[in-house]
Every structure is written in structure tokens, then in C-alpha cells.
């Protein structure tokens, strides 16, 4: 059977804020081991590294990939060197990105993978993904092939790594998810890989009809659709984070709560969200993708709570449900709201801030998705 490239893991990139920069001793001339958990497996992979929000070049002296065993440890028998146009060292230009050469690698579905990078010169402004919810390990000098980095400096952020593609059967495809902190996993467990897209991936892999569906999490904590809050505005990152991902056949939009929660004119924001979502759907359809709209979760009792913002949330959700613009609706609001007070999250799914779900809530969200949408 012929094979195609499909995304098995991805994360959105942004300019890393000061508070989320790498800890001492820093990246320059040192080694960083980062752990990801993929969705689908395969026998060949390629890695994308990003310097897209940096104003000067970044040098990678060596890049290794291996199965992660526990924390900062790797299975050394699985350790492989990645190359870039045949060389182990690569310079990523300012505002640029690079993709490794294809590597034969026995990648299992839902495998935890360690990506270990030895850096050379590093820009002052770092590209990365602060909300990794996984621990990374920073070691002085060259430690790319070291079996155990558990005693290295730890930080719960990702830097530079942006996507992992796998060579998969031609029947494979990916779903790319545009989201904010709820998709990024605020309230999920560190190193547990139990955000709602992770839970969706587990469900997809368990069904014969959907076991070749990759899940790409493009949630950004604090993200807005209409303007730059944290990370690039979703309407500006949509093309790269959704349309340009590898092997995407479906997209899900779960955004807008931060626009509403920070609004002073919530009804106007609701109208603008509806316009932007409609434009995103049109773009997706023009590329042959199916577009699924997810309703915005309740936020009653949170710092976002007000009568006009709740009315605006209902307005957007009503449009998602009834406009017919989306190919299907994923009704997270209905699955997560309290029956006796529909403006609030069920207590069983509430992380405590009345805005973000807890770990149980992310399971409930994944279980609310009809898997038939993906075959």
C-alpha cells in the first residue's frame, strides 16, 4: 500500500514571553531534551523546527530522537540522529523553519518521544510553545545521546519544536484543532498527556474506522481570535496552524472565550467572531477540508462572567448550532454545562476557576465527539 505524510503531533508557535524563557543555563551551546506524545504511528518520520518569531538565526548542532522511557530518560537502542539535507548541523534563519530528512523509525501510536537538541548560537527572542504541560530537561554542553537527563534543569515549556510528521497508509489523515487554553490543556495533568485532544486521540485509535487519524493540537493559552492577546491572533495563525499542516482532512474551531471575556462591547465581539469563523470555514472548504464548529463552554462564576458576555456567548453558540455554516457541530457547551444553571460548568468538570475544565472535564469533552465525523 502506498504511503503519505500525515501530521502525528504539532504545537503552535509564538514569541516566548519573558517569564517563559528558558531557565539558566539557557539554550546557547547547551542541550535540551523535550518529550512529546504522538497520535498515530508509522515507520518513517520527519521533524519540523521553528525560528519563526525570532529576529536572528538559530543554530542546531545536533538533533536526536528516541523513545522516552521515564522523565528525562531515553531508550538508547532507539536513539537516532536527525539530519537536514544530509547534515547533522543546521542553521534556521530568522523568521524561518526547517524540516529534517525522513528517518526510518518504528513509531508506535501514542508513543512518548524524546527530542534532544544541542544548540549553538541562539537568538535573544525565542520561538516556542509555553503551555507544553510536559517537562523538558536542560543540560550544559553536548548531552544529546546521554541516556538519563533526570538531574538536568527542568522547565515545563517547549522551544523550537513545532511538528512531527509520519509516513502512514494512504487512508490516513489528520484533524487540526484551533483553540485557546482549553485546547492547550490548562487544568490537565503535567506529563499526563490528558488534554481533550489527547483523549480524542485515544478514542480514535481504539476504533478500526478511525485508527489512522492524527490529532494536531493548535491550542494557545490566552489566545484570542480577533486580536493578539497571547500568541498571534487566531485569525492570523489560522492558515499556518490549520490549512498548512500535513495531511489535514478535518478542522475543529474552539475559540472565542478570551475575546468575549476581555470585551467591553460583547455583542460587537460576538458579531465579529461569527464573521471570522465564517471566513475560516470558507478557507477550509476551499482547501477541501471539513470544518467542525465547537460551542464555547460556560464561564459563569469566572472572572469573565457578566450578563452581556453570557448573552454574547449564547449568540455565538446559537449561530454555530443553527447557521449551517459548519459541516458538523461539536456541542461542548451542552456536554459541560450544569443543568440547573446553564451559564456555569458542571462542578464535576470544573477545575475550580469556573472557566477551565479539570482532567475529568477533558475526558467528557472527548467523549462528546461523534467519531463518525472522522470516517
Same domain, 311 and 237: yes
Question: What would the 3-class secondary structure string for the chain be?
Answer: CCEEEEEEEECCCEECCHHHCCCCCCCCCCEEEEEEECCCCEEEEEEEEECCCCCCCEEEEEEEEEEEEECCEECHHHCEEECECCECCEEECCCCEEECCCEEEEECCCCEEEEEEEECCCCCCCEEECCCCCCEEEECCCCCCCCECCCCEEECCEECEEEEEEEEECCCEEEEEEECHHHHCCCCCCCCCCCHHHHHHHHHHCCHHHCCEEEEEEECCCCCCCCCCCCCCHHHHHHHHHHCCCCEEEEEEECCHHHHHCCCCHHHHHHHHHHHHHHHHHHHHHCCCEEEEECCCCCCCCCCCCHHHHHHHHHHHHHHHHCCCCCEEECHHHHHEECCEEEEECHHHECCCCCCECHHHHHHHHHCCCHHHHC
My answer on whether 227 and 293 are in the same domain is yes
Measured CA to CA in angstroms, residue 273 lies from 184, 266, 291 at distances of 20, 10, 16
Same domain, 195 and 270: yes
Say what the pLDDT of residue 36 is. 98
Tell which of 118, 144, 164 closes a domain. Answer: 164
**196 and 142: one domain?**
no
Full domain range(s) for residue 86: 3-164
Confidence of residue 113 (pLDDT cuts 50, 70, 90): very high
User: Are 190 and 263 contained in the same domain?
Assistant: yes
Please say if the pLDDT value at position 109 is more than 90. yes
Average pLDDT for 236-251: 98
Residue 372 is predicted with a pLDDT of 98
- pTM across the whole model: 0.98
The count of structural domains within the chain is: 2
Q: Same domain, yes or no, for 158 and 86?
A: yes
* Domain identity same for 345 and 281: yes
Same domain, 144 and 192: no
Question: Residues 336, 337, 340, 341: what is their CA dihedral angle, to the nearest 10 degrees?
Answer: 160
- Domain at 222, CATH number: 3.40.50.1110
Q: What is the pLDDT of residue 288?
A: 98
- pLDDT range class, residue 91, cuts 50, 70, 90: very high
Whether 156 and 185 share a structural domain: no
Please state, for a pLDDT cut of 70, what percent of the chain lies above it: 100
Sequence-ordered list of residues with C-beta below 8 angstroms from that of 372, at least 6 positions apart, any chain: none
pLDDT of residue 358: 98
Whole-number average pLDDT of the chain: 98
Q: Are residues 99 and 8 in the same domain?
A: yes
Residues 127 and 193 in one domain: no
Residues 6+ away with beta carbon under 8 Å from 15? 53, 54, 125, 126, 127
Q: Does 229 lie in the same domain as 107?
A: no
Q: What is the pLDDT of residue 289?
A: 98
Higher pLDDT, 2 or 91: 91
Which pLDDT tens digit goes with each residue over 21-33? 999 999 999 999 9
Q: Tell whether the model's pLDDT for residue 1 goes beyond 80.
A: no
Report the pLDDT value the prediction gives residue 78, as an integer from 0 to 100.
98
Which pLDDT score, from 0 to 100, does residue 319 have?
99
Backbone angles phi, psi at 253, to 5 degrees: -110, 120
Using the 3D structure, point to which of 112, 136, 164 is the last residue of a domain: 164
Average pLDDT over residues 226-243: 98
Amino acid at each position: 500500500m502506498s504511503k503519505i505524510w500525515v501530521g502525528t503531533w504539532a504545537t503552535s508557535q509564538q514569541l516566548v514571553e519573558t517569564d517563559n524563557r528558558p531557565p539558566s543555563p539557557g539554550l546557547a551551546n547547551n542541550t535540551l531534551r523535550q518529550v512529546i506524545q504522538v497520535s498515530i504511528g508509522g515507520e518513517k518520520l520527519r521533524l519540523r523546527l521553528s525560528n519563526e518569531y525570532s529576529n536572528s538565526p538559530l543554530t542546531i548542532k545536533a538533533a536526536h530522537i528516541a523513545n522516552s522511557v521515564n522523565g528525562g530518560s531515553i531508550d538508547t537502542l532507539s536513539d537516532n540522529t536527525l539530519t537536514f539535507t544530509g547534515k547533522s548541523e543546521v542553521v534556521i534563519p530568522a523568521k524561518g523553519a526547517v524540516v529534517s530528512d525522513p528517518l526510518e523509525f518504528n513509531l508506535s501510536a501514542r508513543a512518548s518521544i524524546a527530542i534532544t537538541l544541542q544548540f549553538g548560537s541562539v537568538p535573544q527572542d525565542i520561538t516556542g510553545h509555553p503551555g507544553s504541560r510536559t517537562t523538558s530537561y536542560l543540560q550544559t554542553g553536548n548531552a544529546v545521546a546521554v541516556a538519563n537527563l533526570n538531574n538536568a534543569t527542568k522547565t515545563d515549556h517547549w522551544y523550537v519544536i513545532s511538528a512531527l510528521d509520519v509516513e502512514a497508509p494512504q487512508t490516513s489523515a489528520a484533524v487540526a484543532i484551533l483553540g485557546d487554553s482549553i485546547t492547550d490543556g490548562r487544568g490537565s495533568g503535567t506529563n499526563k498527556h490528558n488534554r481533550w485532544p489527547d483523549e480524542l486521540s485515544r478514542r480514535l485509535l481504539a476504533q478500526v474506522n478511525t485508527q489512522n487519524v492524527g490529532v494536531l493540537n493548535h491550542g494557545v493559552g490566552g489566545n484570542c481570535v480577533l486580536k493578539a492577546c497571547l500568541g498571534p491572533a487566531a485569525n492570523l495563525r489560522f492558515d499556518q496552524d490549520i490549512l498548512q499542516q500535513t495531511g489535514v482532512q478535518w478542522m475543529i474551531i474552539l475559540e472565542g472565550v478570551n475575546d468575549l471575556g476581555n470585551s467591553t462591547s460583547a455583542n460587537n465581539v460576538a458579531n465579529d467572531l461569527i464573521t471570522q469563523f465564517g471566513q475560516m470555514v470558507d478557507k477550509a472548504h476551499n482547501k477541501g477540508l471539513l470544518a467542525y464548529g465547537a460551542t464555547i463552554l460556560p464561564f459563569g462564576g469566572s472572572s469573565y462572567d457578566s450578563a452581556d458576555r453570557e448573552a454574547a456567548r449564547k449568540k455565538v453558540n446559537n449561530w454555530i448550532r443553527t447557521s449551517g455554516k459548519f459541516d458538523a457541530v461539536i456541542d461542548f457547551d451542552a456536554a459541560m454545562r450544569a443543568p440547573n444553571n446553564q451559564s456555569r460548568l458542571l462542578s464535576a468538570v470544573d477545575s475550580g476557576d469556573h472557566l477551565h475544565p479539570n482532567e475529568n472535564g477533558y475526558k467528557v469533552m472527548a467523549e462528546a465527539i461523534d467519531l463518525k465525523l472522522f470516517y
